[in-house]
Amino acid sequence: MSWEAVIGLETHVELSTESKMFCGCPARFESEPNTNVCPVCLGLPGALPVPNREAINRIMRIGLALNCSITRQPVFHRKNYFYADLPKNYQISQFDLPVCVDGFLEVGGTDPGRVGIERVHQEEDTGKSTHMGGDGRISGAEYSLLDFNRSGVPLVEIVTRPDLRSAAQARAYGQELKLLVEALGVSDARLEEGSIRFDANVSVRSGPEAPLGTKVEIKNMNSFRSLERAVTYEIGRQTHLLSQEGTVVMETRHWDEEAGATRGGRVKEGSSDYRYFPDPDLVPMEIDPAWESHIRASLPELPAARRTRYEQMGVDPTMAATLVAGESGLAGLFEEAVNLGAGPSQAANWVTGEVVAALRKASINSVTETGLTGSALAELLEMIGQGKLSGSAAREVLTGVIAGEGGSGQVAAARDLIQISDTEMLAEVIEEVLAAHPDEFSRLQGGEQKLVGFLVGQVMRRTRGKADPKLAGALIAERSSAR
């Protein structure tokens, strides 16, 4: 039997708004513990939440970029559960009327396709508990510390339909979503810092036509690598179980990075366990069409559109993807150089090849920290096109420009790297060489073609390597046949 995996992803994106979701506290949680807190985000009795308009703007940006419809009157619900990092004993979230519904994201990679988006809803983050003593888990800890700086920070949850079919696809979706969120400027979008976190729902069935199998939810992966590994592991575990006539238990599992395995956790709560009900502290919200179109009009060019645009300019698709996925300064550099007249294909080649290599070699993280601007790159490419720089000289100029020595022309001149590619100048040198080697020249005229190489060598010597050898060869050949 050939088993088919079915995967749906739930992604939490922490918004980088100034203030929290329902109070005016700074939404920054790297501050001293429990300094960015107030009665609202500490859940003190009588404190009233007020929604953050900028957070709503941002969730709409995300939803519209994901081709969703906007709900006219979205509702905030209370999701009730007890945990020490949740002082109200409920999280304000959304239930049947989330801000955005019914969209999709096109995902590339080796197995491209359209991933349905079921909903995008707004909620608030919890505080952070640190379990002291033991191995960091709550079991075996002596006591726990609570920091409420993160309590109430706006979170957006993006839920896909069960449309993904492999771990690689799940990863590709995650990567595309990160690029999208980054382009929208709504979140720091840094996985290492937990500003994007993935939960994966995985089931296995006997074939594409079979009904969906029982799913397992794997919580809180915060790297693409763990997302892909966890899903791969879970597909293997379930396939093995089902092949042995076993059954999959519906549960929440955790990904253990070191063990490379998912571990059984708690039996999953059904939504009825949370006793969702509309939060009576929050007045109904109305998103009118004008607000929606205002947000729609402010959307930037999205990654997919940008890749297509680069490809239409003649950039190789892999390089277009590298430019869009790379550090943002690289795409900016590329665009600026092209605007100043550089050929798109050559500029993309240089940016994704030599520039990336040179930055890595100099251990520089961002091109924006260097002297390399679009105009310096355009100048460099122009000099190459004019035959003023050999390949190795061009790389040396790039190194100098990155080090802040000046523009390309300036660096090439200062480091004495400009090739003599001026026909008149070269012709003069060639005359000198021919006069110094009359025998060789007459043998060449007699048909000994290999002497072109010898004479070019003499030209290179006389110019200390700075002549354009191709041009010199052509001029010598021309001169010998002219008689």
Instruction: List residues near ligand ADP by CB under 6 A.
Output: 6-10, 159-162, 201-203, 212-213, 215, 271
CB-count burial class (<10 Å; 0-12, 13-18, 19+) for 401 = buried
Residue 41: which of Zn ion, ligand ADP, none does it interact with, CB under 5 to 8 A by kind? Zn ion
Site string for Zn ion, 26-45 (x = CB under 5 A): ------------x-xx----
The CB-of-96 to ligand ADP minimum distance in angstroms stands at 11
Residues 154-193 touching Zn ion, rule: CB under 5 A, are none
Helix axes 303-312 and 167-184, enclosed angle (nearest 10): 90
Choose, by CB under 5 A, the member of 6, 7, 15, 23 that binds Zn ion: 23
Residue 161: which of ligand ADP, Zn ion, none does it interact with, CB under 5 to 8 A by kind? ligand ADP
Q: Is the dihedral of CA 130, 136, 140, 142 positive or negative?
A: negative
Residue 8: which of ligand ADP, Zn ion, none does it interact with, CB under 5 to 8 A by kind? ligand ADP
Residue 400: which of ligand ADP, Zn ion, none does it interact with, CB under 5 to 8 A by kind? none
The CB-of-269 to ligand ADP minimum distance in angstroms stands at 9
The CB-of-6 to ligand ADP minimum distance in angstroms stands at 4
Compute the distance between CA of residue 274 and CA of residue 92 in angstroms, rounded to an integer.
Answer: 12
Angle CA(329)–CA(334)–CA(336) in degrees, nearest 5?
Answer: 90
Residues 39-98 touching Zn ion, rule: CB under 5 A, are 40-41
Q: In terms of CB distance, is 26 or 162 closer to ligand ADP?
A: 162
Taking CB atoms, the residue at the shortest distance from ligand ADP is 8
Q: In terms of CB distance, is 274 or 454 closer to ligand ADP?
A: 274
Compute the distance between CA of residue 203 and CA of residue 8 in angstroms, rounded to an integer.
Answer: 9
Q: 106 — phi, psi (to 5°)?
A: -80, 130
Residue 372: which of ligand ADP, Zn ion, none does it interact with, CB under 5 to 8 A by kind? none
Residue 216: which of ligand ADP, Zn ion, none does it interact with, CB under 5 to 8 A by kind? none
- Supply the DSSP string of 434-478, one letter for each residue: HHH-HHHHHHHHTT-TTHHHHHHHHHHHHTTT-B-HHHHHHHHHH
The CB-of-41 to Zn ion minimum distance in angstroms stands at 3
Compute the distance between CA of residue 116 and CA of residue 108 in angstroms, rounded to an integer.
Answer: 14
Residue type, 77: H
Q: In terms of CB distance, is 90 or 334 closer to Zn ion?
A: 90
The CB-of-17 to Zn ion minimum distance in angstroms stands at 13
Q: In terms of CB distance, is 8 or 343 closer to ligand ADP?
A: 8
Strands 154-160 and 196-205: unpaired
Residue 215: which of Zn ion, ligand ADP, none does it interact with, CB under 5 to 8 A by kind? ligand ADP
Residue 177: which of Zn ion, ligand ADP, none does it interact with, CB under 5 to 8 A by kind? none
The CB-of-9 to ligand ADP minimum distance in angstroms stands at 6
The CB-of-99 to ligand ADP minimum distance in angstroms stands at 16
Listed in order, strand segments (DSSP E) in 277-325 are 277-278
The CB-of-5 to ligand ADP minimum distance in angstroms stands at 8
Q: What number of residues does the chain have? A: 483
Most distant CA atoms of the chain, gap in Å: 105
Compute the distance between CA of residue 259 and CA of residue 202 in angstroms, rounded to an integer.
Answer: 19
Q: Which residue has the tokens 């520089």?
A: 364
Compute the distance between CA of residue 15 and CA of residue 58 in angstroms, rounded to an integer.
Answer: 8
Q: In terms of CB distance, is 121 or 466 closer to ligand ADP?
A: 121
The CB-of-151 to Zn ion minimum distance in angstroms stands at 8
Compute the distance between CA of residue 231 and CA of residue 220 in angstroms, rounded to an integer.
Answer: 12
Check binding of 25 to Zn ion (CB under 5 A).
Answer: yes
The CB-of-127 to ligand ADP minimum distance in angstroms stands at 23
Q: How many residues bind Zn ion (CB under 5 A)?
A: 5
Compute the distance between CA of residue 171 and CA of residue 167 in angstroms, rounded to an integer.
Answer: 6
Compute the distance between CA of residue 254 and CA of residue 265 in angstroms, rounded to an integer.
Answer: 7
CB 427 within 8 A of CB 459: no
According to DSSP, residue 278 is labeled E
Residue 159: which of ligand ADP, Zn ion, none does it interact with, CB under 5 to 8 A by kind? ligand ADP
Residues that bind Zn ion (CB under 5 A): 23, 25, 38, 40-41
